[in-house]
């Protein structure tokens, strides 16, 4: 079955960078774009960006522009999300989700905590 498995929880200090992963299985990896979505504690869902695994083309939500990078490793069927210059406001659960004009399925989420 189609499955997205994300990397484990991370604790980061303010100013640091994070890099988390999302490994896909059960379908042809390069045939579907992948999204990243963030959810701060007690808050709603926030779209961060999308990557085309077939070539690596990306589109980012403007508020993250300049400190976000999405990449892909087609040999590992994995997409990565990097976010730099972290602040406490970046604390939250980060989800990857496969695109088909909608988000399905979703990864299990990766909790990133930014704290000194």
Partner 1 sequence: QSALTQPASVSGSPGQSITISCTGGSSDVGGYNYVSWYQQHPGKVPKLIIYDVNYRPAGVSSRFSGSKSGNTASLTISGLQAEDEADYYCCSYSSSTGSSTRVFGTGTTVTVL
Residues of the shown chain interacting with partner 1 in the complex, contacts defined by CB under 8 A: 35, 37, 44-47, 50, 59, 61-62, 95, 100-104, 106-109
Burial class of residue 107 in the structure, from the number of CB atoms within 10 Å of its CB (0-12 exposed, 13-18 middle, 19+ buried): buried
Contact between 93 and 81 (Cβ < 8 Å):
no
- 46 vs 71, which CB is nearer to partner 1? 46
Shortest distance, CB of residue 15 to partner 1, whole angstroms? Answer: 27
- 36 vs 80, which CB is nearer to partner 1? 36
- 27 vs 47, which CB is nearer to partner 1? 47
Distance CA 105, CA 59 (A): 20
Distance CA 109, CA 68 (A): 18
Shortest distance, CB of residue 71 to partner 1, whole angstroms? Answer: 18
For the chain, counts of helices (H) and of strands (E): 0, 11
Distance CA 97, CA 115 (A): 26
Shortest distance, CB of residue 112 to partner 1, whole angstroms? Answer: 16
- 13 vs 62, which CB is nearer to partner 1? 62
Shortest distance, CB of residue 57 to partner 1, whole angstroms? Answer: 11
């Amino acid at each position: 079955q189609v499955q997205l498995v994300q990397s484990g929880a991370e604790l980061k200090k303010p100013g640091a960078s994070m890099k988390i992963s999302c490994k896909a299985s059960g379908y042809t990896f390069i045939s579907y774009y992948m999204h990243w979505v963030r959810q701060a504690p007690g808050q709603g869902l926030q779209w961060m960006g999308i990557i085309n695994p077939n070539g690596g083309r990306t589109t980012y939500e403007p508020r993250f522009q300049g400190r976000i990078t999405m990449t892909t490793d087609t040999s590992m069927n994995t997409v990565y999300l990097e976010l730099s210059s972290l602040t406490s406001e970046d604390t939250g659960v980060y989800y990857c989700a496969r695109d088909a004009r909608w988000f399905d399925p979703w990864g299990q989420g990766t909790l990133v905590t930014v704290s000194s």
